[in-house]
Structures are given as structure tokens and as C-alpha cells.
Amino acid sequence: MSTPELTSGMDRRHFLKISSTATAGLSVGFFVPQSAQAANTPQLNVWLEIEPNDTIVIRYARAEMGQGSMTSAPMMIAEELEADWKKVRVEYATAHENLRTKRAYGDMASVGSRTIRNSQEYLRKAGATGREMLIAAAAQQWGVPASECKAALSKVTHVPSKRTLSYGKLAAAAAKLEAPKDVKLKDPKDWTLIGKSIPRVDIPDIVTGRVKYGIDAQVPGMLHAAIAASPVFNGTVKSMDASKVENRRGIVKVLNLGTFVAVVADNWWRAKEALRDVAVDWDVGEHGTLSSAAIMAHFKAGMDQPELAVARNDGNTPDAMSKAAKVIEAEYFTPYLAHATMEPMVCTAWLQGDQLDVWCSTQNPESTLAVAAATAGVPQANVKVHPMQLGGGLGRKSPQDFTRQAVTIAKAMPGKPIKMLWSREEEIQHGLYRPASLMRFKAGLSATGKAEALHIRVCAPSILATLLKLPLPKGVDGQAVASFNDHPYDIPNTLVDYAQRNTNVPVGFWRTVGHSQNPFGRECFIDEMAQAASKDPVEYRLAMLPNNEKANRDRAILLAVTKAAGWDKKLAPGVFRGVAATDGYGSWTACVCDVSVNAKNEVKIHRIVIGIDPGYAVNPDNIVAQFQGSVVHGLTAIFWGENTIKDGRVEQSNFHDYRMMRLNEMPKVEVVIAPTGGFWGGVGEPAQAPLAPAVANAISAALGKRIRSLPLKNHGLTLARA
């Protein structure tokens, strides 16, 4: 892989020169307009440039936060371009360029595991268009029909005469040709890149420390801001007294910004230390008494709410339930969860007159641009959003609350570049939390154990209504009922209803969102149904899956994973097993987990077998990495993850009381990739869906009692060292 130029390309654009002097430790940087460097490089379309030395620059229009799309999205273009991957360099497209070109790069958000599935078609077409233009240029030069020419490995060959020309030599002529309107995409069986494990383009710069994250932005004359928002959500500043810190070394300004206070200093540590000594009286309104118990009571009241939003209504569930031979019922609960991205919220903003530059760890640079412009009160065309690598995103860096804060500070300090960085405490206590959710399941079984009726009632806050302020179709938040409203099982009478129960705790998209919690309830309750029917949980699920395209994928991945796990083989004494099958983000997943629980309530995970059918497996090793990582993310939540509310505020504040899984707890994980082709599914999020129920079902089997709430620490359980 020749990728050392990756960030030098980025450096050229955004940090042309960074030099530090031995004496003062100052940094000097300046920026060049983007057009300056690209002026003489033939551009076949917005996605690709080919330099005379055969280097192919492919633009990447989303964020990179560890999900690997900065490699797999350009693979889409390179595949159809017939590019020699060794000669490809990836560079970021920018939100301001997207604005200028009326969204030539399309959607730039990295959310919902959708980068590949939503952009694969236009990326492949961009590559194919480039390929056809290069072939046409070669054919023209040789005076032969294009149909006699073939492209491969960055070269066009005239097949009869075996003459060849490299893309670098053809690019200038090709760029002058008209782009073909219709291009034929390659048959998947002819792919040479897609489906191969390609090393990630950003890793060489990560291991040398060269890659620049949002927190690493460096601008001449930059100042640093530490901030504190009201410890009770949505509170405002009643009064502020900064007299104790104003004359301290390095402190430039202390700002009362209405909903938060900021200390601006020449070093972030000085700002953060001073912030502690700024006395703030917060107006917290009526919210200062909110507690986890009050929230639970609010959810429980939703269970008896007379009018509920109906998300699914097949058959006649109340009637079928009343006729059932056996009825079982259970309540499940999942808590609020903060994201805890390793890099806290960070944004650098520099307002010079009516021009605004922003360096931001953002999952949605277009939204960053819009929010920054609106906050500063400048036209969108005057804003530049400089792409940075993200130190994790996990859904938290898509909403732009922190961009708004940073630009608000910059507006109060015109002419000064300000880097605003949150403390870990700020991050955990001012999250946009995965909603807590209370779910009630009721099933009516026939005398033979067949599921005749299923009623699922969800009481939970709505992300869509409160964060995005979207109208809910028929009052239903799709995330709150995800995996319920679309369960694949052949249960003729299914009723899913929803009580929207918002609180003052703000909620947002947390990796895997509704699929991180609802499958825990659904697939554990399916286990309860299988148990009530005295059936094997895999057999029970297979028997309930109808014969349709969607359910056939559920069946295929469940069979692939249970086969890999050896479901039919006997387990060692004391070892118990759980299973779950789910779908989400356009992919199908299943998981089998083997555990034992000792007398000290330590859960030993012997093995996790987890699998996916993503349709096409674009970069298989990256899928394995995403699944290994998702297991860690998931187990952290399953065992310890919980944000509790007391006096209107989040009780946890840092990693000492919001515990993360560590290396010595990492169990054995086997990833099964079983692509069936014909569709494109996501890979960054689906793994968490079947994990929690498989783990909980295994533990329930081991304990002989049902686990119906998370985290497991509240059941006295801990994760044994691996």
C-alpha cells in the first residue's frame, strides 16, 4: 500500500505548513485555496483526478471515524475505473465544495451505516464513467474502435495490437471528452477489488501519529475554550462571577453565553482549571428534581395510557390473545447511555469579518456548515468546514450542538480562532443519550406452542420528535419500535403500540440506536416463548420464519451462524448457550454465545459466534473489525452501561463510574461473513442487535432465571477476565 501521501494531501489543503520553533513552541500555519493545487490536474468528474504520474486522486465525501468507509467508498470508484489500487490516493471532499457545486458529492453524513449502501451506485457510476472516457481517449489516439480496447490496472490496452497507454498519459485528453450518459456497471463476478480485504488507507498515518483529528486543529493565534453547560439539562445562566479567575495567567476572557459559560485561554488546561472557579448560578426551572425513579414512573404510566400510537396491527391481537391456550407476559428495560467517544466534542471556529472557518470532528459536515453559518449570521457560502478525522463518532457527532457552542464563542471573540473542547465530564453529563425504554411483551400460544398473537408495547422518548423535531407518522417513532414493527416472524396477530414518553433528558442516535435495545427485548422474549412451548430456541425461530425473501435471509444467517457455532453439539458441563437473529441497517445478523456463571456471579464468555449477511461483503477484513469492535461496544453496554438521573442531572461523570470494557476482558469472537448477494447492507452497526439477546439468553439459561433488564451489573453480575 502506498499511502504515505494521504495526509500530506490533506496537509497541503488545510495546514500547508506547520513548523514549531524550539524556543517558544509556536506554530505557524496558513491555508491555500483548494483550487490552487488542483489547477492543472485533469478531473474526469468531481470524484476523481488523474495526475500525469498515474496517481489517481479519489475524493471521499463522508467522515472517517473508524468505520473504514474512507477505504471502502473509494474502492467502489476504483473498481469500476479499473484503477490500480496501489496508485490511488484518497482525499476528502469538503462541505463547502459540495455547497458550491450544488451537492455534486451528494449526502455527506456518516450515519445509519449507510455510506456504502446509499452511495455505491453513484460512486460506481462515477468510476465507470471515468473508465469509458479513458478508453475513448485511447481509442481516439490510436484511431481504433473503443470496442477493441480494454481497461485494467490503470492502463488501456488495444487488444488486437497489444498497444497500451497508462491513465496518466490519457487523462488530459479524456478530461476534454464529454462524459457518457449511460455506463454499464461490472458484473459482481468480475469484481477485482470489491470483496477483497483491502488495508485501510488511513492506518499508516494513524500509526505514525500524523493523522489529524478535530482536537488537533492548529491555527495561528488560536485560543482554547473550556465550557460548562447547566448541570440540569436545558438550564440557563442566572448569574456568573468570574472575578476569581479573570487575572489568572493565560485567561483571555470568561463568557456568559446564556445557556453555557466559556473560559477562553491560551492553553486548554488553563481554561479548564479556571472554569472550576467560575461561580455560576443556574436557573434550572422545574427540572431540578428529576430522577431515574420518576422517569420509570413516567414510562410505566405510558403502559396504561388510553390512546397509543399503533406501529403495526396484523389480524386481531386482543381477540387471538383471549383465545390462546397459554399467555405469557414480561417487561424489559434498557437504560440511557452516553456515547463516550474517545475524543470528546471539539470544534475550532474562526470568524473573520463575515468569513468563517470551522475545523470540526463531525459526522455531518453539511449540517456543521449550516449550523455554523446560522449561528454566526453569515451566508453559507462564506463558511469553510475543514475535514478532520474523528476520534470516534458513535452517533454523537452528527447533531451539531457543540458546533453551535464553538461558533457562539467565536462570534463573541471576533477575529480570534477558538478551539472549544469538552471535558470528559461535560461529554458524559451533556450527552444526547440512547433513550431509556420500557417494553412490555405479551404472547398468546396455541396448545402446541405455536405463537398465535404477539403484543409489544413500548414506552420511550422519541429521538425524532425531540432532537430532530420531526412530525411522527401516526405518532410512531420508527427508532423506538425498530425490530418490532418489522419482525419477520409468522405470527398472524401482531400488535405493536407506542407511548411517546419524553423527559428533560435529551436523547439522540447512539450506535445501532433502536436496534441496540429492542432486539434485546424481542429476541429474549422469543426465547421465553420457545421455553413456554418446550422447543429448542433455534428450531422455534426457524419454524416461525415464513418463506419470503426477507425471512429467507433471516433463516440463512441463523443457519450459517448456528452451524459455525455447532449448535447441535453438546456443551461442556456448566456451559450454557444463547441465540438471537435480527436484521437492521439493510443487513441480516445472528449470534450464538456460550457462557458459564460461577458462584461469584462472574460471567465467563467462552465464545461469541456472530455473523452477517450484508448482501455484498465489500471489504471483508473491515467487516470482521467492525464486528469485533461492536462486540466490545455492546458488551460494555450490556455489563455496565447506564446513565442514571438524580436532581435533574446525570450521576456519572467519567470512566471511573461510566465503565468501559478493557483488553483483559475481551472474549473469543468468531465472525461469520455469509453474503448472499443482490443487495447492499450496512456493517458498522448491525452487530450489536443480536449480541445483547444472545448473551442475555445464555446467562438466563445458566442462571435458570430470566434477565430482563440491562445493564447486568444491576443483577450482581460481572464479566470475568477472558
Partner 1 sequence: MEIVNMKLSVNGKSHTLDVEPEMPLLWALRDELDIKGPKFGCGIAQCGSCTVLLNGEPVRSCAYPVSGAAGQKVITIEGLADKGRLHAIQQAWIDHQVPQCGYCQGGQMLAAVALLKKKPKPTDEDIDAAMTNICRCGTYARMRTAIHAAAKKGTRA
- Please pick, from the candidates 655, 678, 705, 714, the single residue that binds partner 1 as defined by CB under 8 A: 655
3-state secondary structure 285-338: CCCCCCCHHHHHHHHHHHHCCCCCEEEEEECCHHHHHHHCCEEEEEEEEECEEC
Under the binding rule (CB under 8 A), the answer on residue 390 touching partner 1 is yes
Instruction: Pick from 93, 137, 308, 394 the residue near partner 1 by CB under 8 A.
Output: 394
Number of residues in contact with partner 1 under rule CB under 8 A:
72
The residue among 44 and 624 lying less far from partner 1, judged by its C-beta, is: 624
Q: Does 613 bind partner 1 (CB under 8 A)?
A: no
Instruction: Looking at residues 46 to 105 of the shown chain, list those that interact with partner 1 (rule: CB under 8 A).
Output: 64-68
Q: Which of 297, 301, 342, 468 binds partner 1 (CB under 8 A)?
A: 342
Nine-digit cell string for 72: 471502502
* Of 389, 408, 503, 652, the one binding partner 1 by CB under 8 A: 389
| Interacting span for partner 1 (CB under 8 A) from 52-60, 289-297, 391-399, 559-567 | 391-399
User: Quick one: which of 705, 694, 708 has its CA closest to 579?
Assistant: 694
Give the phi and the psi of residue 488 in degrees, each rounded to 5: -85, -5
Q: Which is nearer to partner 1, 157 or 389 (CB)?
A: 389
Among 11, 51, 84, 266, binds partner 1 (CB under 8 A): 266
Q: Which is nearer to partner 1, 26 or 32 (CB)?
A: 26
Asked if 625 is part of the footprint of partner 1 (rule: CB under 8 A), the reply reads yes
Tell the smallest beta-carbon distance from residue 688 to partner 1 (Å): 11
Stretch that binds partner 1, among 115-123, 364-372, 384-392, 529-537 (CB under 8 A): 384-392
Do the Cβ atoms of 411 and 384 come closer than 8 Å? no
Contacts (CB under 8 A) with partner 1, residues 138-197: none
Nearer to partner 1, 129 or 341 (CB): 341
Helical spans, DSSP H, in 143-264: 167-176, 203-207
Nearer to partner 1, 210 or 535 (CB): 210
> 717: alpha, beta or left, given left = phi > 0 and alpha = psi -120 to 50?
beta
Distances (CA, A) of 588 to 67, 144, 504, 582, 635: 18, 48, 35, 6, 20
Task: Of 211, 234, 193, give the one whose Cα is nearest residue 83.
Answer: 193
Cβ neighbours, 10 Å, residue 362:
34
Residue from 246, 486, 621, 651 touching partner 1 (CB under 8 A): that is 621
Binding to partner 1 (CB under 8 A): which residues in 25-44? 25-27
The window from 137-145, 335-343, 449-457, 542-550 that contacts partner 1 (CB under 8 A) reads: 335-343
Q: Does 276 bind partner 1 (CB under 8 A)?
A: no
Neighbouring C-beta atoms of residue 187, cutoff 10 Å:
7
Candidate residues 45, 140, 218, 292; the one interacting with partner 1 per rule CB under 8 A: 218
Binders of partner 1 among 411-450, rule CB under 8 A? Answer: 421, 423-424
Q: Does 341 bind partner 1 (CB under 8 A)?
A: yes
Q: Is 508 a binder of partner 1 (CB under 8 A)? A: no
| Measured distance CA(220)–CA(89) in Å, rounded | 28
Phi, psi of 478 (to 5 degrees): -60, -30
Does 673 engage in binding with partner 1 (CB under 8 A)? Answer: no
Ramachandran bin of 25, using left for φ above 0, alpha for ψ from -120 to 50, beta for the remaining angles: left
CB 423 to partner 1: min, Å: 6
What's the rounded Cα separation, in Å, for the pair 221 and 722? 49
711: preceding bond cis by omega (within 30 degrees): yes
Q: Between 423 and 437, name the residue whose CB sits nearer to partner 1.
A: 423
Is 16 a binding residue for partner 1 by CB under 8 A? The answer is: no
How far, in Å, CA of 487 to CA of 10, rounded?
45
594 touches partner 1 by CB under 8 A: no
Q: How far is the CB of 204 from partner 1 (least distance, A)?
A: 6
204 binds partner 1 (CB under 8 A): yes
Cβ proximity to partner 1, 395 vs 488, nearer residue: 395
10 Rama sector, left if φ>0, alpha if ψ -120 to 50, beta otherwise: alpha
Nearer Cβ to partner 1, position 343 or 523? 343
Q: Which of 10, 70, 661, 696 binds partner 1 (CB under 8 A)?
A: 661
Give burial (CB, 10 Å; 0-12/13-18/19+) of 398: buried
Asked if 263 is part of the footprint of partner 1 (rule: CB under 8 A), the reply reads no
Asked if 454 interacts with partner 1 (CB under 8 A), we say: no
CB of 77 to partner 1, least distance (A): 21
Which of 37, 101, 208, 243 lies at the binding interface for partner 1 (CB under 8 A)? 208
132 belongs to the binding site for partner 1 (CB under 8 A): no
User: Smallest Cα–Cα separation from 388: which of 250, 139, 131, 213?
Assistant: 213
Q: Does 338 bind partner 1 (CB under 8 A)?
A: no
Task: Please give the Cα distance from 48 to 199 (Å, whole number).
Answer: 20
- Distance, in Å, from the CA atom of 109 to the CA atom of 704, rounded to the nearest integer, reads 45
